[in-house]
Amino acid sequence: MKSSSTKLFPMLDTSPKGLGWPSVSGFNRIRRKFGSRMRSGQSPASNLAKLQTSFDPNDTIRSLRAHTWSIYDGQYLILMILGIFCLSVIEEPGALVKTSIATLLMLSLLLPITRQFFLPFLPIASWLVLFYSCSFIPAEWRPHIWVRVLPALENIIYGANLSNILSAHKHPILDVLAWLPYGIFHFAFPFVCAGVMFLFAAPGTLRVYARTFGYMNLIGVIIQLCFPCAPPWYEAKFGMAPANYSMGGSPAGLARIDALFGWNLYSSTFTASPLVFGAMPSLHSGCATLEALFLAHVFPKARWVFYSYVMWIWWATLYLQHHYAVDLIAGSLLAGLSFYVAKTKFLARLQPDKEFRWDYDYLEIGSGSSSERFDYGLYDLDSYHSEDDEWTVGSSSGISSGCRSPVSPSDDIQSVWSSASETLAATSEVDSSEVYIPVDDRR
């Protein structure tokens, strides 16, 4: 019999049953789900949250053979051409290292256990490689640098240079408040958001987030290459004098952070930036907006907290003189457009009664009504395992965005989807007006 103190204070329970795990309901719920999966080898609710564990390249080959190709597969051709261009212009590292990296990437796409992560990561990898290669692109290949365009737009729209106004009054406390979102959170939050998407969002949301994040940044860098513009720190340092590609970058207001903490982190990195004149659009603004929109999709009640973070990084960017206000608007518009395409075509709808990804036993894709039809293909090349990728919209499977309540596993439709030899082409026998999608999602 437990003592009265144990009844009053359950956390003091020292019985064997109470040892080993903190008495936190949310933590215990995750523990039970992981424990159940480890014991049974399957997800407690369904196969939606299952991850691929196969090391057999033959599974990838069978997936390619069974895959229904669509126009959306053209993205891989574009990324391949972009990768070849970047590897051809990059001078360091040498050919041996570049070949080794490309070989490892192809190997990761061949093994199913790694393909499930590296295939959605391809747009992000392409963006990072393109950004790094910018410093090796010859100046004669690059367009004229626009110095007066952004200040003129700023004065036309706002009647003043907001960056100069906000940065006129400097203080160490303001420097730290601006440094946190611009110099710390900007680089950490993509990983935080990825973890949140994996745990709390519907299965497949992480893949959509990764692709959207990668393509948004990739498009942003391409715009910056084609339309190079000088940032506010250039105007403060050189006025309206013509710019050239031999000039180095500047940490601007972040130099005060280096002086405050006695390091040379931002001065060295921003001075050697591969894309010095990439002011338009602001990808700091774009990343913050995209993260806020995805988090608001998962946690709609807290959306104003996430939107406040966007406002915070807007102020920090202007205060540190890294972008004009028009750059911030352009970055947020790019992020908003990217999220709109992802949400209406590829993103699984929120189900308020579901807390974790393991709770989902069916998915509703897109934001349209059930009368609107969106095809749901096998764009991640995993049709052998009946895995679907939200970026395959437009293929020939003919499944609508609407979805019924889940049916019993004993029903015939479940047996069709659970068979590893069947593909989404079998859905032609199913009522296409409103269909349950028990997709085997291993993300």
> What does the pLDDT profile of the chain (443 residues) look like in tens digits?
444 444 444 444 444 444 444 445 555 655 555 555 444 444 444 566 677 778 888 888 888 888 888 888 888 999 999 999 998 999 888 888 888 888 898 888 888 888 888 888 999 999 999 999 998 999 899 999 999 999 999 888 887 788 888 888 889 999 999 999 999 999 999 999 999 999 998 888 999 999 999 999 999 999 999 999 999 999 989 988 999 999 989 999 999 999 999 999 999 999 999 999 999 999 999 999 999 999 999 999 999 999 999 999 999 999 999 999 999 999 999 999 999 999 998 888 888 888 888 888 888 887 654 333 333 333 333 333 333 443 333 333 333 334 433 433 334 433 333 333 333 333 334 343 334 444 444 44
Q: What are phi and psi of 309, to 5 degrees?
A: -65, -35
**Residues 283/131, Cβ–Cβ less than 8 Å:** no
pLDDT of residue 282: 95
pLDDT of residue 283: 95
pLDDT of residue 176: 95
**Residues 322/284, Cβ–Cβ less than 8 Å:** yes
Sign of CA dihedral 215, 219, 225, 230: negative
pLDDT of residue 221: 96
Q: Name the residue among 243, 248, 230 with its Cα closest to residue 322.
A: 230
What does each C-alpha distance from 265 to 46, 60, 118, 260 come to in angstroms?
47, 43, 30, 12
**Residues 319/178, Cβ–Cβ less than 8 Å:** yes
Determine if the pTM surpasses 0.85.
Answer: no
C-alpha R_g of the chain: 25
Q: Across the chain, which distance is largest between two alpha carbons, in Å?
A: 84
